[in-house]
């Protein structure tokens, strides 16, 4: 479930000009490697795996295929989702996992890039995800935090209570336009 949630995060990206407007700028096959790490005493070797993101039109102009493919061979995992336009003017989109799960994402624009960002929880795990379209590359980052053991501080007098969470895992990938696996 966490793996599916992390993959779902792979729904974020962006672009900085009208010519790169979402989601049209993303249409095509994006291919690269993702590196996953687990920090702290549980740390092992960093895992590196092939990642693809395939974005394409559907019959509905407000829905696009959003297929994420992790790994190769026996380890290959395909996640056939759809990116939905909720309110293009406000930069609101959603990823439909096609299984009753729909995750809100928001387009955030900067001077030279745009980024789709989201945060969601699966069980006791909070996932922060972003996809950023910059300089011809699609950068994806996912951070997974445990919400069951928050560090609570502050909360005295006029000081607000603050909760912080421990990072459980992180993934970062850089994808470039390319031929999908097997094509």
pLDDT of residue 124: 92
Note whether residue 116 is domain-resident: yes
Alpha helices per DSSP H over the chain? 2-9
pLDDT, residue 112, reads 83
Tens digit of each residue's pLDDT (9 = 90 or more) over 170-180: 999 999 998 77
Domain that holds residue 98: 2-177
Taking all residues of the chain, what is their mean pLDDT, rounded to a whole number? Answer: 86
Question: Mean pLDDT throughout 105-115?
Answer: 88
pLDDT over 90 at 14, yes or no: no
Give the span between the Cα atoms of 175 and 183, in whole angstroms.
17
Q: Give DSSP secondary structure letters for 67-104.
A: EEEESSGGG-EEEEEEEEEEEGGGTEEEEE-SSS-EEE
Nearest by Cα to 140 from 116, 122, 111, 119: 116
Tell me if the pTM is above 0.75: yes
More confident residue, 114 or 153: 153
In this predicted structure, what is the pLDDT of residue 23?
A: 67
User: How many domains, in total, are found in the chain?
Assistant: 1
Report DSSP state, residue 115. E
Query: Where is pLDDT greater, at 46 or 98?
Result: 98
Does residue 108 sit within a domain? yes
User: Is pLDDT at 90 greater than 80 in this prediction?
Assistant: yes
- 35-84 pLDDT per residue, tens: 999 887 667 678 899 999 999 999 999 999 999 999 999 999 999 999 99
Q: Is residue 31 part of a domain?
A: yes
- Domain annotation covers residue 183: no
In Å, how far are 3, 43, 49, 169 from 46, measured between CA atoms?
16, 8, 10, 10
pLDDT tens profile 134-164: 998 999 999 999 998 889 999 999 999 999 9
CATH number for position 52: 2.40.128.20
Q: Is residue 182 one of the residues assigned to a domain?
A: no
Cis peptide before 23 (omega within 30 of 0): yes
pLDDT of amino acid 13: 35
């Amino acid at each position: 479930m966490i793996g599916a949630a992390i993959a779902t995060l792979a729904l974020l990206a962006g672009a900085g000009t009208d010519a790169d407007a979402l989601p049209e700028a993303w249409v095509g096959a994006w291919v690269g490697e993702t590196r996953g790490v687990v920090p702290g005493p549980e740390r092992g070797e960093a895992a590196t795996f092939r990642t693809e993101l395939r974005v394409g039109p559907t019959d509905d102009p407000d829905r696009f295929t959003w297929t994420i493919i992790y790994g190769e061979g026996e380890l290959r995992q395909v996640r056939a989702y759809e990116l939905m336009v909720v309110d293009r003017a406000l930069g609101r989109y959603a990823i439909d996992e096609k299984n009753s799960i729909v995750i809100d994402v928001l387009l955030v624009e900067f001077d030279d890039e745009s980024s789709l960002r989201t945060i969601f929880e699966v069980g006791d795990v909070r996932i922060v995800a972003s996809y950023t379209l910059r300089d011809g590359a699609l950068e994806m980052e996912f951070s997974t935090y445990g919400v069951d053991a928050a560090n609570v501080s502050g909360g005295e007098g006029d000081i607000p209570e603050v909760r912080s969470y421990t990072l459980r895992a992180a993934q970062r990938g850089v994808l470039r336009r390319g031929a999908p696996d097997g094509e």
